[in-house]
Amino acid sequence: MPEAIAVSAATTAVPLRDDARVIGLVGMAHATSHFSHLLLTPLFPVFMRDFGLSFSDVGLLMSLFFIISGTGQAVAGFVVDRFGARPVLFASMGLFALAAAVAATATGYGSLMVVVSLAGLGNAPFHPADFTILNQRVSDARMGYAFSAHGLTGNLGWALSPIFLVGIASASHWRVAYMCATVLYLVVALVLWLNRDVLLTSTAKSRATLKAASPAPLEPAVVAHPLAFMRLPVVWWCFSFFLISTITLAVVQTYASSILQALHEVSFQAASLTLSAYMVAGAFGMLVGGWVAAKRATYSDRVVAIAMGTGAALLLLCATGWLGGTGTMAVLAVTGFAIGIGGPSRDMMIRKATPREATGRVYGTVYSGLDVGFAISPLLFGVFMDRGWYASTLAGAAIVLAISVYVALKVGKLSRAGQPA
């Protein structure tokens, strides 16, 4: 039975080549997920011009995306545990391609709402699916590096979106950019399909069958009830961390370009490149953070707290306006690097809170906090932006990120006290 291999893969000796193949494929899929977060965002100024939209209008689009994604993510965790990660992942890629195709033919605000709805549905299963594959198919010794690569590729997906969409739109037309995005999704889906054997995971049903046939338990941690993980306080503190820290990230992704143009008269192209620089710097930060996570796994919460605290201080510095346009763009990129370092350690925190038979459910619940944060942030700070409170928007994002420092330390305290399963 092939599923039996997936159950025990993480606890047996695995060649580096096999681990690298799993990590690479999951990372590529994760990059497309993050690319989809910004499927419309880089061209918001164009849509505001062509369709007569306000900051609040485009902020609502992002909120709708993440409301759908967050709600779907919590449900998707159960689906992944029941049916496996692979079929869910393929369904997501199809929804992304459809969303990009609709964007290419958009005629107004209603069309854009359909785009974010389809993309939100596609995005929902990614974290539970990705982390289920990584936890089942990657060896324990390389898990810290797997989390680093996962976060890094996500940031690269964010970084690619403005370059890809704005670059093609500038050279041709924004509709052509979305046609090209449709092709990109289909190519990634084809690569995943050709390597589908690597994405196979066990399901709750297959684990129960194997357990009944085995005189010894296959896994040390058993969840008695599908919702038992919800009684763990640390799970909800992890959820809170994602919600709070993501509010800041959403401000940068959604409004940094407009803030730079309004406060420092930076060109549209330069402001878009700054967002890409933030994401690329974040990817390099995660690369460094993977080594830190592997060496300091016991105190991952402290690594996260230091990274978030540093990022908050740098954002607050940007909000003062003292740095000018060029200085602000440079410091924003450094902010991405600082926050990125904490990414792999953040994922290690979540792993400590996850019962092995509830991987999809826990990751779906915890990472839905990310979607909730993304949904809240544009609605809240869109009001700031419409009133011209550009510096206050950055300052507010910095304050919220500072709060996440306390939450991360609380997660660590609960973990060391034995609260997680």
Please check whether residue 302 lies inside any domain of the structure: yes
Residue 282 lies in a domain: yes
pLDDT above 60 for 56: yes
Q: Please report whether residue 280 resides in a domain.
A: yes
Overall pTM > 0.85: no
pLDDT of residue 222: 42
Question: What total of structural domains would you count in the chain?
Answer: 1
Does 85 fall in a domain?
A: yes
Say if 333 falls within a structural domain. yes
Under the phi-then-psi rule, with left for phi > 0, alpha for psi from -120 to 50, and beta for the rest, what region is 66? alpha
Q: State the SS3 of the chain.
A: CHHHHHHHHHHCCCCHHHHHHHHHHHHHHHHHHHHHHCCCHHHHHHHHHHHCCCHHHHHHHHHHHHHHHHHHHHHHHHHHHHHCHHHHHHHHHHHHHHHHHHHHCCCCHHHHHHHHHHHHHHHCCHHHHHHHHHHHHCCHHHHHHHHHHHHHHHHHHHHHHHHHHHHHHHHCCHHHHHHHHHHHHHHHHHHHHHCHHHHCCCCHHHHHHHHHHCCCCCCCCCCCCCCHHHHCHHHHHHHHHHHHHHHHHHHHHHHHHHHHHHHHCCCHHHHHHHHHHHHHHHHHHHHHHHHHHHHCHHHHHHHHHHHHHHHHHHHHHHHCCCCHHHHHHHHHHHHHHHHHHCHHHHHHHHHHCCCHHHHHHHHHHHHHHHHHHHHHHHHHHHHHHHCCCHHHHHHHHHHHHHHHHHHHHHHHHHHHCCCCC
**CATH number (domain holding residue 153):** 1.20.1250.20
What is the residue range of 155's domain?
6-415
Bigger pLDDT: 5 vs 71: 71
Q: Is residue 320 part of a domain?
A: yes
In sequence order, what are the residues at sequence separation of 6 or more whose Cβ sits closer than 8 angstroms to the Cβ of residue 125? 72, 73, 76, 79, 80, 85, 88, 89, 91, 92, 364
**1 is a domain residue:** no
What pLDDT is stored for residue 14 in this prediction? 67
pLDDT at 402 over 80: yes
Amino acid of residue 90: F
Measured between alpha carbons, how far is 371 from 247 in angstroms, rounded to an integer? Answer: 9
CA-to-CA distance for 2 and 178, rounded, in angstroms?
A: 39
Lowest mean pLDDT among 26-35, 54-63, 104-113, 114-123: 54-63
* Residue 420 within any structural domain of the chain: no
pLDDT tens column, 79-92: 888 888 889 999 99
Q: What band does 231 get if pLDDT is binned at 50, 70 and 90? A: confident
Is 294 or 126 the better-scoring residue by pLDDT? 126
Confidence check: pLDDT of 305 > 70: yes
Selection from 305, 405, 401 nearest residue 345 by Cα: 305
pLDDT at 204 over 60: no
